[in-house]
Structure 1
Amino acid sequence: MPRGRSATYADQHEAILAHAAELFAARGYPGTSMNEVAMACGLTKPALYHYVRDKEALLLQICQQHIARLQALVASVQAQGLLGEAQLRALILAFVRAYADAQGEHRVLTEDVRFLGEAERSVVLDGQRQVVAAFADAVAQVRPALAAASLHKPLTMLLFGMINWMFTWLQPDGPLTHDDMAPVVADLFVGGLLALQTPALQASA
């Protein structure tokens, strides 16, 4: 009979993904070797390959796991039955706060997904599109005219631009935390959304 996985397999696998994400985020995917990942995890290289096939598979698993967490956040907010501005604010708060504990994974998803093969990259991007679509729907709920003017998705991308690059300036040991900034981002985006006036909106009114 084939030998089953140990009780600690899942925990070790999670630790490998976390250590690899930190290394990829700090050094870049091309600049990180599997030897370095193994050393960071306290494993031999052969032992590392017991958990992951190769470096590309490791990158894919990091991206897929992070996307799955973001999708779970969306589902959790949607399950609250919130509508309009309340739902959009809840989504923004949840995502900004979640990024505090996933900065390595998020940076890998932002910068290193391009190193995946076409099929694998497509899987990850499909997951990202689902998350973006949920936010775009929430934006359209707040101001339905935005969807009519084809602005709800571009505005959603502007919001993600604001959130996605916070890791470049919001330092873990700085005076502000993700918890501090989450309501600021929500107020800034929702307030701007409600005040937005453009020719496209006027034409769709």
Structure 2
Amino acid sequence: MARGRSAGYEDQRELILERAAHLFAKQGYTAASMNEVAEACGLSKPALYHYFRDKYDLLVHIAEGHVSRLQLLVAEVESLGLPPEQRLRTLIQRFVLEYARAKDAHRVLTEDVKFLTDEDRARILGSERAVVAHFSGAIGEHWPQVAGARLAAPTAMLLFGMINWMFTWFRPEGSLTYEDLAPMVADLFFGGVPAMRLPQAPQDPA
């Protein structure tokens, strides 16, 4: 009879992924080694291979796990049945806080996705696009004129441009925390979208 996994197996896997994400974010995926991951986790290298096949396996699990959590977050907000503005504000604020919690995994997803195989990259980026599409739908629902001008998706990408790169400059050790910043991002977005000048529709030559 096959021996079952120990009660702490999944907890140990999550710890390894967290430590590996930190190393990859700090040093870069190519520079970090399995020896360093093992050392960071307090494991021997053979013990590390009991949980993950190789460094590439770690990369896939970090990137896919992060996107899966974002998809779950979207589903949770959707289940609340909020009106359009509150739904979008809640999405923005929760994503800011999730990125703060998982900033290492987010950096890995942002910077190291290029090291994935075509198949793995297509699958993970497809899930990421589904998340963006949900934001686009929420934007279009709240601002029908933006959807009518076919600008909901570009507007969503501008929003993600604000959120995605916060980890490159924001230092929560200062006077602001991520909890302070999250509603500020929402306010800035909601204050700015109505000021957008929508491009003129092309004239019909006929």
> TM-score normalised by the shorter chain: which range applies?
over 0.9
Residue 97 of structure 1 deviates from its aligned partner by 1.2
Equivalent in the alignment of 2:35: 35
Equivalent in the alignment of 1:48: 48
Q: Is the 8 A contact 1:170 1:177 kept in 2?
A: no
User: Percent of aligned positions with the same letter in both sequences?
Assistant: 56
Residue 84 of structure 1 deviates from its aligned partner by 1.6
Residue 202 of structure 1 deviates from its aligned partner by 10
Equivalent in the alignment of 1:90: 90
State the alpha-carbon separation in 2 of the partners of residues 122 and 201 from structure 1: 33
Aligned-partner SS, 2:65? helix
Q: TM-score scaled to structure 1, two decimals?
A: 0.95
RMSD value over aligned CA atoms?
Answer: 1.4
Q: Counterparts of 1:42-191 in structure 2 under 5 Å? A: 42-191=42-191
Q: Is the 8 A contact 1:83 1:141 kept in 2?
A: no
1:125-174 Cα offsets, whole Å, 9 max, x none, are 01101100010001101111212211110110110010000001111312
Equivalent in the alignment of 1:25: 25
Q: Is the 8 A contact 1:145 1:201 kept in 2?
A: no
Unaligned ranges ≥5, structure 1: none
State the alpha-carbon separation in 2 of the partners of residues 168 and 5 from structure 1: 39
Residue 63 of structure 1 deviates from its aligned partner by 0.7
State the alpha-carbon separation in 2 of the partners of residues 73 and 202 from structure 1: 38
Residue 87 of structure 1 deviates from its aligned partner by 1.0
1:15-52 Cα offsets, whole Å, 9 max, x none, are 00000000000000001001100000000111001000
201 and 89 in structure 1: CA distance in 2 versus 1, 3 angstrom threshold? farther
State the alpha-carbon separation in 1 of the partners of residues 105 and 88 from structure 2: 23
State the alpha-carbon separation in 1 of the partners of residues 47 and 171 from structure 2: 34
State the alpha-carbon separation in 1 of the partners of residues 200 and 113 from structure 2: 34
State the alpha-carbon separation in 2 of the partners of residues 143 and 129 from structure 1: 20
